Structure 1
Amino acid sequence: MNHLYDGIDGRKVLIMESPTGTGKSLSLICGSFRWLTDYAQRTELETLESLNVASILGFEDPPWIKEFAEEQALSVFEEEKEKKRKRAERLIRVRNDQTQNLRDRANKRMRFAQSRDSTGEWEDDDEFVVEEYDSDTKSSNIRSDVLNDALSGDTPIVDEEEADETKIIYCSRTHSQISQFVNEMKKTAYVDIKAVSLGSRQTMCINENVLKLKSLPRINDRCLDMMKASKSEHGGCEYLVSDTVNKQNFTDQLHATIKDIEDIVDTGKQHHTCPYYGARHAIRPSQVITLPYNILLQKATRESYGINVKGNIVIIGMCSWFGAVELYVKFNKEYKDEAHNLVDAITSIYSVSLNVVELDRAKDQLQRYLLRYQKRLKGKNVIYIRQILLLLNALKNSLATTATDPHPLASKSTIKMVNDFVHELDIDNVNLFKIGRYLSESRLAQKLQGFVEKKDKQSAAAADDVGDAKYISKHVSTIQCVEGFLTSLTNADLEGRIVVSKSVEDPTTSSLKYLLLNPASAFRQVVEEARAVVLAGGTMEPIRDLLDELLPYLPHERISKFSCGHIIPPTSLLTLAVAVGPTKKPFDFKYENRTNHAMIDELGATVANLCTVVPGGVVCFFASYAYLDKVYKQWQSSKMLQRIENKKLVFKEPRQSNMAEVTLAEYSRSINAAKSIGATKTGALLFAVIGGKMSEGINFSDDLGRMVIVVGLPFPNIHSPELQEKMRYMQARAARNGRDVNIGNEYYENLCMKAVNQSIGRAIRHKDDYASIVLVDHRYTQARIRQKLPAWIRDAGIVDPPNFGKCIAEVGKC
């Protein structure tokens, strides 16, 4: 906490490592909140001292002018102080009311239902015509508005009447992780701090007509339809409050006590007010904001929410391993999941894709728009729109298949430098910077979207009938997607690459993708504007990787590192590097060896023997679903699985996300049932996949994870074009910086080891927990590999049993 406090005060970027169960969240909260409280008091004193007339006016001014100026300044200061006092009194009253309501469950609802005519046509469509534009002058009539959120079409919500407090912005990957952080906040002495949690419509909407749509794109569209209807008085959402008094009242309700997402939703239901927009109105006067990664990291989204990073403290929690598992998953291409950590989140947000369907849709809409308004468009609008159509044709042609393309059943991906791609398209004579500026300042995407929404009501209704997987949001303009891709073509060659993916079998799936290779450039604005940035996780090593990926431009003195060990005693953890099995067959799970039947059977005997001596739950991680399935089938045919099932019930991680929770519940129930008198089994065994649904965010604490087994070293697919390009990029950057080490291979190995660390971190979850970790592969005995395990595991000691009998003996002592 002292290190954090000093780092914030010194405007540092802090990299803080503290294993799960050591009180990381509470330490972050107490250290940063104390600084925020002290800073507010210090600022008030400094403001009062600065009101000295000598600092306001020159010494030559007459005394009466100085006195008047001082009185005016003091008056403003006292007025602001009085506002804060009244606000504090209001919050105390609301807090007392909320406490009483919780006691007697008499929650009163405020109804603002309004009946509005849901029909109505626009009589004129002049609003869709872009204004006169000239990029060669600085006197354009176009308003340079904040860009709408590219994902939802939201407009900024900023209440200028509220003071923008200095604040702590805490972000994490999932809503559940944010809720955990908020619940820790409630345990501290800072329960009076003004906090608000932000989330998606899917988690915060209370309108049943919207929620029943299930999928996020459909929910976003219906919400935006209803919001527009509310504004135009033609019907809309009954929960959307527009008057200032009720917005302020709801903000007071949120600030009276610390609330997580679920609490805010409940408050919205009680007061008949939209929690999603109500929380956004509460941002400026809040001292603490908690939110998911994507809201903070994407500039357009951040601005649409009205979040100002400048001068504030950004804490990014739960960011251990910095995207290694996500990249491992992506390069293996065996399953898809959302971005778990910071690097991958940044890479995903700024890696823009366009497929053939989107290009055709954008071209069709823009041609119809030009045909409709060509005679009414002024200035250079027609020229720019024709240039954009030319660019759309060029992009579409780059995906056309030829006789030289591969077999019809194959897909082909090629990676190109940005400049090479632009030259190949023969569009290097087009000023892409001007095109990007035009799209941004003319608001063509918004104008076009309004035009399409009006003219395509029938086709939009038909689109509602398609499945969720094929549903295209009508509030996300295809031109916005094109704008993002064209903007990426103006980036430096070193920043990223273009991935051209052609499919002869199904040309509609062919796509272009801008692959960001340098996430540091996208994260730089946050680092430079924030007062301090805190990156906190359980395992941050190797720090060198983190600095290279996110902060290569920062001077050494701006970076502050802190790491602490685990709070469990060494006797609570046993780590074994198992090189041979029960019949002395060596374990070498390299790709070319891992299908060896004899070694798979040896692995089965190893797992069966370990299950004999370990009570409770055992989690065994494999490199992929495919390899898990292969091993499982062989054990079924060889009766090895039956031998394991004699001791423990066996569960297998499902590929379907909606089945993961059910599997975990059954696994937990089986372990608890094994504790009963007369139980025939000692617990349960769960086969899981590294980088899958069970390797991140799941707590296998206590009896749920008395042992974690990792089979082999899960290196990602080295043949992935994107992985190869990333390795080449890192090697070239190292060469430019005068580093002669093989950074590319180091990066590849680190991806593997961080994925391992993610999995073995599932076991020890609190100070009284204990577990064994078994690393099955002879390569775990190598010093280079071992050095990349978490420090708290290395410090507790890693045992290299000379034979399998010694391994069982060590486990039996635990």
Structure 2
Amino acid sequence: MTKIEEEDDRTGIERISGKSVVLTEDSPFLFPFDPWPIQLAFMTRLQLSLKMLKHRPLILTVSASLFSLYEGLSLGKVMIMESPTGTGKSLSLLCGSLKWLHDFHRKLEVEEYAKCVPNEPGVSNSGADEPSWVLEHERKVALRELEYAAERKRKRAQRLEELRQAEKENGWRQTLKRPKNHHGNDEEEDPQEFLVNEYESEPEASGKRGDLVDNPTDSDDPQDERDELKIIYCSRTHSQISQFIKEMQKTAYQTVKSVSLGSRQTMCINDSVKQLKSVSRMNDKCLDLIKGASKEGGSYCPYRSKDQQKRALFTDHIHAVIRDIEEIVETGKRQDTCPYFGSRDAVRTSQKTARESVGITVKGNIVIIDEAHNLIDAITSVHSVSLDSRQLNRSDAQLQSYLQKYKSRLKGKTLAYIRQLLLLIKALQRALRPLTSEERAQSYIRRTNDFVHDLDIDHINLFKIERYLANSGLAQKLQGFAERTEDPKVAADTEDTDFMPKHVSPLKPVEAFLMSLTNPDLEGRIVVNISEADSSASNLKYLLLNPANCFRSIVEDARAVVLAGGTMEPVQDLLHEFFQLFPYLPTDRISRFTCGHIIPPTSLLTTIVANGPNQIDFDFTFEKRNDGKLIDELGGAIANFCNVTPGGVVCFFASYDYLDVVYNRWQMGRILSRINSKKQVFKEPKQSVLVDTTLTAYAQCIRNTSNLQGHTGAILFAVVGGKMSEGINFSDDLGRLVIMVGLPFPNIRSPELKEKLNYVKARASLRGSDCAVANDYYENLCMKAVNQSIGRAIRHKDDYAAIVLLDHRYGQQRIKQKLPGWIRDAGIREPGGFGRAIAEVSKFFRGIKPGC
């Protein structure tokens, strides 16, 4: 038995019978099966061990000398790691990162105990000037603290193991009775509590800030343990989190403490909250119940317990077994404890956390962002701030009332800041008034500095306003004041665009928008949309053009950052000098790892088809794509491919609008019925609620093909960037052929896209470079969408599929170079005629031996 196998719960490793142990230099990766070579390359640290961290890093010989996951975590790198879907990316991320975490904690523990050994150098920072008895005392104190922490950890590990064994033997068990129906009996609120804290702008006079925000200590918490280094795993959707947790449950790291975080929509178990139809209403109702618990006679949530022992027990249940969100919710129901708040309570002592959320710090932790191909778009979206006239009007009314109430009790500087805020709000309100001048349109875009100058607010120091709002707690105080003084409006439990949350201060979006005005002038634009018909629809939007600085705090605070994805190509968006995400990092801190697919080249056929059956060129540019003859030629081509393809066909269009145009024309003619004679036709719905129903019917049709007269499967018309182009698994017969109609370039007439392209050109111009880089960026946006769509088919090592690219522009060398590497490696065919293309696809499927 190896040393690792003898480790107890502290290591987070449980030896599972039949699991592979992959030996690296001196210790193993634990893997649930014999890994493929590319998984070893993904995980391995080669010759680098933790004791060699100060040495020059080694270079991988795999895929253009790129660093592996273990090496990158050890060296604190930013890693861009690409492993195609079906190659075991999730398991590699898990086993590689958890192995590193285990080694890190073991090394840290050894180092801490070594410092407590007498006569060891470097024990005290006070140096040799300290008497020996002082050094001895320091060593004993440090040793006692370590022993105390180790004992607490041992006892908790024992509790978790007991819970773990109990679940294995008895299944779920309910250890707590349902809480009694009781209400708090707090005294009536004093209006004094809404009085804003005094604030001095000078740093030397700022004083203490501990009383500005309620920060309840957890010193009485029986689970008060030292915070641990965490791996924070982030993904875009709830289903991707669940898939990741399912993979984690397969590993040998079964005693690692983990917690998955979700929204109230997925984690609330209170029926009065769950029945509401929008997240905003659920949040509001939940906060109503929390506040009601502190008022005599108020409604409250029976699952939101203040009992520390009960909450600690729920944390133990979460940490005892690796659970996904659904399993945490089920645990909450059986424990009569809120899973939403309970999971957040469990974050502090977790080692693996799914979803970064409020209250989780990345400082010193590992951040893994999966499906990172859309990271730049996500950052841009999060930091692009919108502010509508209703929020401005409500903020103005609340501040005016607040000032009227407390004017005589506020000091001069506080009054000055509040009056400056009112002046800024008035200026923003003026910007949304309908324009009578013909010089500007009702909607327009301005540079940040020009916008500030237009509003005549350039004499106000926005940085001081930012510090004041952050330090004074004005937004929270103002919200509490408004809840007490305003007449509450009872919102109906229906969806409507006019709903405004009661428990979110309208000053918050105002604050966010004002802070966006402090960003560098070149890096953002102000979009002004003025509605004459409905003034409440008028809004201001800060459009972020450069996401690098917004992501910088995460990169600099985290120990290491991993950007992982099945298809990261084209990767220039992350690394190009003019629009890269990490311009402030030295090049030796950024590493890139990519690997090929596990399928043999014979399991994939990629074909570029430049024209159709009647020799009409496939040119789906915006100017030509609505031509009736071209649409009919497309229909004839798809019908022919359906004749030679078994199972399912997924055909992607550039947009919902274009899909409707094509589908309606085919419906009026004979083309759709011709396609339907071989493949039952399904169409991606625009409504999200119908997606699952459509996918289920599509899969059912393919499974029951033998019972359907004349049909050889089904065809699904989908949209690039829609609900089925990412995160949907079209494995095996669900996706034997993927057809891409045209190149889905985004709308070049979009004002926001124009500003983004202008920004890229401006940066290139400042550095004296070719402004054609903007065209490259524009192509990258298109090809990222293409690559995500065509990657829906091959999902495991025994899968096979054909990919048909219908547009002559795919034959251009620069376009082909932006396709995924694993597709280029397998070969891209250009038959030279439609008949030859059909023959190649037919030959491909006839030559495939199922199960091989």
TM-score (norm 1): 0.91
**Contact 1:146-1:156 at 8 Å conserved across structures:** no
Confirm whether residue 258 of structure 1 aligns to residue 322 of structure 2.
Answer: yes
Equivalent residue in structure 2 for 1:631, among 662, 667, 672: 662
Verify: 1:309 aligned to 2:362, yes or no: yes
Choose which of 588, 602, 617 in structure 2 pairs with 1:557.
588
3-state DSSP of counterpart to 2:497: helix
AA partner of residue 281 (structure 1): D
8 Å CA contact 1:604, 1:635 repeated in 2: yes
1:156–1:663 Cα change, 3 Å: farther
Question: Which residue of the partner structure matches residue 489 of structure 2?
Answer: 460
CA 535–156 in structure 1, closer or farther in 2 if over 3 Å, else same: farther
The match for 1:599 is 630
Distance in 2 between residues matched to 1:546 and 1:278, nearest whole Å: 37
Query: What are the superposed Cα offsets for residues 693-738 of structure 1, whole Å, 9 maximum, x if unpaired?
Result: 1111111111111111111111111011110111111122233344
**Is 1:291 matched up with 2:291?**
no
CA offset at residue 262 of structure 1?
A: 0.7
The reply to whether residue 28 of structure 1 matches residue 93 of structure 2 is yes
- Which residue of the partner structure matches residue 124 of structure 1? 190
- Residue in 2 aligned with 1:204? 267
* 1:95-151 deviation digits (Å, cap 9, x = unpaired): 11222231xx55454322332279x99453111111333324643467367889xxx
SS in 2 for 1:196: strand
Q: How far apart, CA to CA, are the structure 1 residues paired with 2:519 and 2:637?
A: 53
What amino acid does structure 2 have at the position aligned with 1:95?
Answer: R
Distance 1:92 1:613, change over 3 A: same
2:715 paired with 1:685? yes
Match of 2:332 among 268, 273, 277: 268
Residue identity matched to 2:701: S
- Code of the residue aligned with 1:47 in structure 2: it is E
Q: Which runs of 5+ in 1 are unaligned?
A: 149-153, 296-300, 324-341
Q: Is the 8 A contact 2:277 2:493 kept in 1?
A: no
Moved more, 121-130 or 424-433: 121-130
Match of 2:21? none
Q: Pick the aligned partner of 1:349 from 382, 388, 391.
A: 382
Match status 1:536 vs 2:578: no
**8 Å CA contact retained: 1:131, 1:142:** no
Question: How many angstroms does 1:66 deviate by?
Answer: 4.0
Structure 1 residue 537: deviation in Å? 0.4
Deviation at residue 378 of structure 1 after TM alignment: 2.4
- Counterpart position of 1:112: 179
After TM superposition, the structure 1 = structure 2 runs for residues 108-257 of structure 1, keeping only pairs within 5 Å, are 108-116=175-183, 122=188, 124-136=190-202, 138-140=204-206, 143=209, 161-231=224-294, 234-257=298-321
User: How many angstroms does 1:498 deviate by?
Assistant: 0.8
How far 1:228 moved relative to its partner?
2.3
- Alpha-carbon distance in 2 for matches of 1:214, 1:85: 45
* Paired AA for residue 333 in structure 2: K
- In the other structure, the counterpart of 1:527 is 555
One-letter code aligned to 2:190: D
Aligned match of 1:389 = 422
**Aligned mates of 1:144, 1:403 — CA distance in 2:** 50
Q: What one-letter code is carried by the residue in structure 1 that aligns with 2:183?
A: R
Q: 1:760 to 1:405 in 2, by over 3 A?
A: farther
- Distance (whole Å) between structure 1 residues aligned to residue 706 and residue 443 of structure 2: 54
Contact 1:708 1:773 in 2 (8 A): yes
Query: 3-state DSSP class of the match of 1:375?
Result: helix
Letter in 1 for 2:392: L
Q: Contact 2:173/2:334 (CA < 8 Å) preserved in 1? A: no
Contact 2:654 2:742 in 1 (8 A): yes
Partner of 2:675: 644
Q: Determine if contact 1:215/1:468 at 8 Å carries over to the other structure.
A: no
Residue type of the alignment partner of 1:343 = I
Cα offset for 1:647? 1.0
Residue 577 of structure 1 aligns to a residue whose secondary structure is strand
After superposition, give the CA deviation of every residue in 1:572-593 in whole Å (9 maximum; x if it has no partner). Answer: 1111100111111111111111
Distance (Å, rounded) in 2 between the aligned partners of 1:268 and 1:262: 10
Equivalent in 802, 807, 828 of residue 772 of structure 1: 802
Please list, as runs of the form range in 1=range in 2, the aligned pairs for 1:464-483 lying within 5 A after superposition.
464=492, 467-483=495-511
Deviation at 1:657, TM superposition (A): 1.1
Q: Is residue 87 from structure 1 mapped to residue 118 from structure 2 by the alignment?
A: no
Task: Answer whether contact 2:277 2:494 (CA < 8 A) is retained.
Answer: no
Q: Distance in 2 between matches of 1:74 and 1:750?
A: 57
The alpha-carbon distance between structure 1 residues 615 and 67, as it changes in their structure 2 partners (threshold 3 A), is: same
Greater CA deviation, 490-499 or 166-175? 490-499
Does the Cα contact within 8 Å between 1:144 and 1:441 map onto a contact in 2? Answer: no
Alpha-carbon deviations, 1:340-367, whole Å to 9, x = none?
xx22221122111111111111111111
How far apart are residue 416 of structure 1 and its match? 1.1
CA distance in 2, matches of 1:68, 1:761: 63
Task: Give 1:334's aligned residue.
Answer: none
Identity %: 56
Shift of 1:561: 1.0
Residue in structure 2 matching 1:749, options 755, 779, 783:
779
Asked whether the 8 Å contact 1:617–1:685 carries over to 2, the reply is yes
Structure 2 unaligned residues grouped into runs of 5+: 1-42, 45-67, 846-852
> 2: CA distance between counterparts of 1:76 and 1:132?
39
In structure 2, the residue corresponding to 1:268 is in which secondary structure? helix
Match of 1:6 in 2: 71
2:103 to 35, 38, 53: 38
Q: Is the 8 A contact 2:115 2:139 kept in 1?
A: no
The 1:745–1:451 alpha-carbon spacing in structure 2 relative to 1, beyond 3 Å, is same
Deviation at residue 543 of structure 1 after TM alignment: 2.5
The SS at the match of 1:460 is: coil
In the other structure, the counterpart of 1:703 is: 733
**Aligned residue-pair number:** 769
Are 1:485 and 2:504 counterparts? no
2:829 corresponds to which residue? 799
Q: Aligned Cα RMSD in Å?
A: 2.2
Output one character per residue of 1:660-698: Cα deviation in whole Å (capped at 9) or x when no partner: 11111111111111134x632111111111111111111
Change (3 A) 1:661 1:749: same
Residue identity in the other structure for 1:50: K
Give 1:510's match in structure 2, choosing from 524, 530, 538. Answer: 538
Matched, 1:585 2:650: no
> Displacement of 1:464 after TM fit?
4.2
What letter matches 1:536 in structure 2? A
Query: C-alpha separation between the residues in 2 aligned to 1:266 and 1:220?
Result: 20
> Is the CA contact (8 Å cut-off) linking 1:142 and 1:442 kept in structure 2?
no
